[in-house]
Every structure is written in structure tokens, then in C-alpha cells.
Structure 1
């Protein structure tokens, strides 16, 4: 049995005010009137039927996600009481799947990615599923052919040939490099971007968590024992809060022995900022000003700006400005330098401190 697990728990603070606490970035219809989550479900439906697609999200978003994805069974949307990073989102999904089929193979995806075209990805997933069927104790991940020396992504170093066309061992996981190191990776021809997508057996990943995170594994086991009973919510709330907050790369992938990969040559983006959003849905003029399709904007002597509006009848007029991000929504407007977006969380904290929670 094969399952897809989509991680959709991020709050998307770097995309405020488009993304809000009640409306996270994964469900905003920004790509051809479709959300990132909808696009991800559509991609995996090339291989998995709706009954075999699970979504792990924050508990406060669960009802919204179920409404957003009516083609998925309601029980396939799992709500985390609080964010505890990817190791525990994956651990929760594996714990639930173990109750159905402990020897099932699960493929893990992130909801906030753009991958085009879909056909090469679908073929790579099929190959990975087949590889895991014949190598049940292995862990599989996907690299993305590096188009340039990206300093905001982790890298995978390709190891030896695994004896199956296009599949290699992973020699090393590398954290986000500086510019010089990233250029060395590209020149070597041995590195690719780390996509954060995985394939493995349910029982194998739970065994790996038991090996490297026994504290977390015990709490996940308690959650599994209570999952089909009346105490599920109480136990989930209690035990999940005790989990160590850690990514699957740090917890398992960088420490495990049998890790394999294939490399995808496709357009891939992790949509975590206005820059990546603009790169994928915006039109660029001769002065490098980016405007999204639904945005009405007039530029006068402006360079290198981004304008996004949720109101098609609202006009943005900009005069002699450069390097700005301008985002208009019906109740909040953001104006920020393009190189200062890492301070958005600071602004959200200020809004909360001043009693403006309704805008968060």
C-alpha cells in the first residue's frame, strides 16, 4: 500500500499580510486561482488516490483545510496541537498509518513548493516507491538539479551508484552554505538542492525515530495507542507538547546509513518569501518592477519593486521609489524594503504588542 503525506503546517509569516493566522499561505489562491496546497494535492493525485493522501497541518487550520480539500476524506487531515517541526509531523503521520498498514510505503511532500512539469516528478516518485519496495530498510530523498549557487537551501552530495538507473547513495547532507561554498558545490557537479521530499516504509521511519529520538518515539507510540479511542485529543495534546522540536534532516537523514536519492531536473521553488512568489507569478517590466496578474499598478520613475494587491479594483500608484515590496489587502497594507523582509516577524510582534491581533 502506498500513501502520500503532505506537510502543511507553516504559518507563512514572511508572506504577511497575504498569509494570516486564520488563512495560512498554503490555502491562499495565488497560482492561477489555486492554492499551494491544492497544487500539491493535484500533483500527487497523478499517483495516489484521495483515500491515500494525508495532510498534516496545525490543528487550528484543520477545519479550513478539510473545507479546502473536499475530495480528501476528513479523517485524512491530521491536526498538530502545536508546531514541532518536520520530524514530528512525519512521525505523527507514520504513527497513524501504522494503525492501517505498518508495512505501507509513505511519500512525504511539502505543501509550499512549486514543481513543474509534473511528469518527471511523477516518474521519479514511481521509481522511488519501487526502490523502497525492494529495499525496505532504506530511506529515499529527492535532489533538485541546482540552477545556481543558492545560499538559502540545503544541499545533497551524490554518492555511489545504487545499481538502479539514476539512483545513488547520499554521501552527505550540507546545511545552507555561504556564497563561496555554494559556488564550489555547483562547480563540483556532485551536489544538488535538498528538496525536502522523501519516500520510506512506515515501519522503517518509525524505527529510525526510535533509534535517534527515543524520547519522541515513546510519545508518538502513546499517541498511536490512544488514536482510535475517546482519549485521542487529550493524549495528543499532552504528548505532542513534550516532543523535541527538530527537523527530519537533523533527527534522522543526516545520521542514517541507508539513504538514497535521485536528481530531478525541473523548475522547483520553495515559496517562503515575496521574492519567490514574485518570481513565479509576476510580470516584470523594463525597470524590473514586478506586478502580479490581478494587481493594477502604475509605476513612474520606479525600479526593482514588487506590487501585489488582493483587490482588483484597487490601484497602486508609485512615484520614484525603488527596492520596495508593496502588498495591499482589504484590511492591511505592507510597505517594506526588499532586503528587510526578515524583519516581518518583528513587525508582527509589534502589532501583537500594540493590540492589533485582528490583523495577524
Structure 2
């Protein structure tokens, strides 16, 4: 697609996939759901739609060599390295600074690399719809109808349909079925665009059940599309401290170069996610329904849901002998045999350095060293 850029976010540490994911080799660079790493899979998912020259990667400085090894097609100037982890808000601010020479009206497709996606044609249709909405001035996120009361995901309350060619601040389209219109406007790719009323980040079990039962909430996929200009405006409005720091970096870069200025000043940024810092407060937020299969590979249980399973719902990687066992997620490595006998709903993982065993419903609490 012409004049669109993609920003791949590869700075996460993946602590809940310990002991496989480590600070030296985080989950983005691991082959968890196939022969390629999550980073490589994300890149391959986007490059049929965009040229490699239109793709940028934000990663930790210490993982620069891993990105270069796994994405040899990536132009060297398209690798944006953070000297310190500061979450997705500053990461996108840094990307906006890096792309200042790009036309302000250019849509940016923001893709976390730790996602599993099935149905790539539907995925691209959702992106095309989101790009069309971004061209109207919206901050567009992809929302997925929930299939269960998941406590590890954020939720979006879906609002009114948005008429075609309607920007933020204009009256919304008529609600579907109200007798005054043909339903929601099509943003592009044949998919509707809706306002997003509010975010609910990682609710507890009872609230998650209520949100799903209401029928008004979708999972937030964490995939955003907005123009470079709107990204800069949203950061200025909702993250003024980050906006000021980016201005300091811009001034310093004129004297010492952008990379040196980022190295020296970026660690002062306050850590905040783009969801919390911007989306929860934005008046431009819109949502496109995502009709593809999706999972955020955030922990072992999430990984177990996308891996092939046997008739007793056991998901295993490596050699595993599972007898009278059910609902296991097993990563036995490549050079050892994993054995499960008469056990249920466990996570079992082992590397050369460490091992993990816990109840499957405790997967969200996994961190290095317990």
C-alpha cells in the first residue's frame, strides 16, 4: 500500500514466558509458534502488503544484533534502538521523532511483534480499514469480539458507527438498525468503523465476565493505525513530559546527531504504555472489528492455546510423553524427554538453566525466579 509505514514494537521483555524468554533472548526473538521467531513472523506478515523499506523496528539497544540477524532485509536506518526500556508510549514517541522527515499525513501501522495471527487475508482487510480511518484523523485500534472472559487482555467499549469521511469532532453516523440510515460507514476493506468509548485494562475475573456478557466490549488487540501528525499531536496533548523530552532530543540532535542525543536523553522518559498514556484519554479513538484469529503470546497459557493440541488438550513442544494427563502446556526443549503422568492443567517448561512448574491459571504471575 503506497505511503504507509509500519512500526514493529520489539522491545518487550517477555517475563511471563520465563524460563524460555530471558533478558538476553526475549520472546520476540524466539521461535514459539513455528520455525521463525515472532519478530520474523510479524515482518513476513506485513511485507507482502508493504515493502521492506517502509518497515521500522523499535527494539532495545542490546538486541540490535538480533534484529539485524533475523531481518537482514531491514534497511539499517530503519532500526530504532532504545537505550533503556520505557514501554510503548516513549517507544512510539521515539518512532515519531525518527520519522519526522516523512509526510505528516502518512499512516503508521503499529504492530507488537508478540502476536499470533491466523487468517492473513482478513488481517490485511482490517489494516486497510484502519488505514482509511486514520486518513480521516482517527486513532484506530483493532478490536476482536471476545470468546471468553480473559483477564490478561484490555477491553474496548464499542460506541457509535462512524460515517465515511467523518473525522473526530464531526457527528457520528447513525447507529445500526435505527431506521435512519444503512448502518455503520465503511472505513475501507468493507469493514465498519466505530467510535471507542473507553478502555478497560486487564479486568478481574468478575468484571471480565460482565464485560463479555454485555456484548458491548471487544478485546483490544494493541494494533494501532494513525498518521504521523496525529501521533505527534496525541503525545503533545496527553504525554506533555514526553513531548518536551522529544523536543530536547530534537535540539540536541542538531549538534551531536540523533543516535547520540537519544542515547543520552531518552532514559529520562517516564515509562508508560501508549494505551494508558494516550488511548485512555484520546477523543479521536476509533475501532475496526478484527475478524481474524488472534492471540497475544503473553504467557504460557496463551502459547498453549495456539499450539497444536492432542485429544486431551495437551500442547507440547519437544519430546513429551503424556500419560493420563489433560490440559498441559509442556516445553521440554530439544534434547530431553518431558513426561507427564496423571496430571492436569499444568505448565511445565525447562531450559539448560532453569525449570518451571505451576498451575495453568497461575501463568500470568510467572516471572524470572518466581
State the TM-score, normalizing by the size of structure 2.
0.86
Cα gap change, 1:231/1:340 in structure 2, threshold over 3 Å: closer, same or farther?
same
Contact 1:158–1:170 (CA<8 Å) still a contact in 2?
A: yes
Deviations 1:69-98 (A, max 9, x none): 011112211111111111111111111111
> Counterpart of 2:140 in 1: which secondary structure?
strand
* Separation in 2, partners of 1:228, 1:41: 32
* Separation in 1, partners of 2:294, 2:42: 12
Per the alignment, residue 77 of structure 2 pairs with 75
> Counterpart of 2:367 in 1: which secondary structure?
helix
Per the alignment, residue 241 of structure 1 pairs with 267
**1:112, CA displacement in angstroms?**
0.4
Deviations 1:266-301 (A, max 9, x none): 211000111111211142343x43322xx2122344
Per the alignment, residue 62 of structure 1 pairs with 64
> Counterpart of 2:298 in 1: which secondary structure?
coil
Cα gap change, 1:198/1:338 in structure 2, threshold over 3 Å: closer, same or farther?
same
Deviations 1:133-160 (A, max 9, x none): 2x13x21111111112222211111111
- Give yes or no for the alignment of 1:310 onto 2:333: yes
- Give yes or no for the alignment of 1:12 onto 2:14: yes
Cα gap change, 1:161/1:304 in structure 2, threshold over 3 Å: closer, same or farther?
closer
* Separation in 2, partners of 1:8, 1:156: 24
Per the alignment, residue 96 of structure 1 pairs with 98
* Separation in 2, partners of 1:179, 1:195: 19
**1:230, CA displacement in angstroms?**
4.0
Deviations 1:6-51 (A, max 9, x none): 1111111111221122211111122220111111111212321100
Contact 2:18–2:368 (CA<8 Å) still a contact in 1?
A: no
**1:250, CA displacement in angstroms?**
1.7
Structure 2: which 5+ runs fail to align? 164-184, 187-191
Higher helix share goes to which structure? 1
Task: After TM superposition, list the pairs within 5 Å mapping 1:60-209 onto structure 2.
Answer: 60-133=62-135, 135-136=136-137, 138-163=138-163, 164-165=185-186, 166-209=192-235
Per the alignment, residue 21 of structure 1 pairs with 23
* Separation in 1, partners of 2:217, 2:43: 28
* Separation in 2, partners of 1:226, 1:46: 37
> Counterpart of 1:169 in 2: which secondary structure?
strand
* Separation in 2, partners of 1:179, 1:318: 29
- Out of 323, 338, 346, the residue aligned to residue 324 of structure 1 is 346
Cα gap change, 1:153/1:343 in structure 2, threshold over 3 Å: closer, same or farther?
closer
* Separation in 2, partners of 1:269, 1:108: 16
Cα gap change, 1:315/1:104 in structure 2, threshold over 3 Å: closer, same or farther?
same
Structure 1: which 5+ runs fail to align? 349-360
* Separation in 1, partners of 2:110, 2:275: 13
| Further displaced range: 48-57 or 207-216 | 207-216
Q: How many residues are treated as equivalent by the alignment?
A: 342
> Counterpart of 1:100 in 2: which secondary structure?
coil
Deviations 1:78-130 (A, max 9, x none): 11111111111111111111133333221111100111101112012112222
> Counterpart of 2:369 in 1: which secondary structure?
helix
Contact 2:152–2:364 (CA<8 Å) still a contact in 1?
A: no
**1:318, CA displacement in angstroms?**
3.5
RMSD in angstroms over aligned alpha carbons? 2.1
> Counterpart of 2:96 in 1: which secondary structure?
helix
Deviations 1:183-225 (A, max 9, x none): 3322332211011111111121111111122221111123234
> Counterpart of 1:297 in 2: which secondary structure?
strand
Per the alignment, residue 290 of structure 1 pairs with 315
* Separation in 2, partners of 1:270, 1:342: 12
* Separation in 2, partners of 1:109, 1:216: 21
Contact 1:110–1:196 (CA<8 Å) still a contact in 2?
A: yes
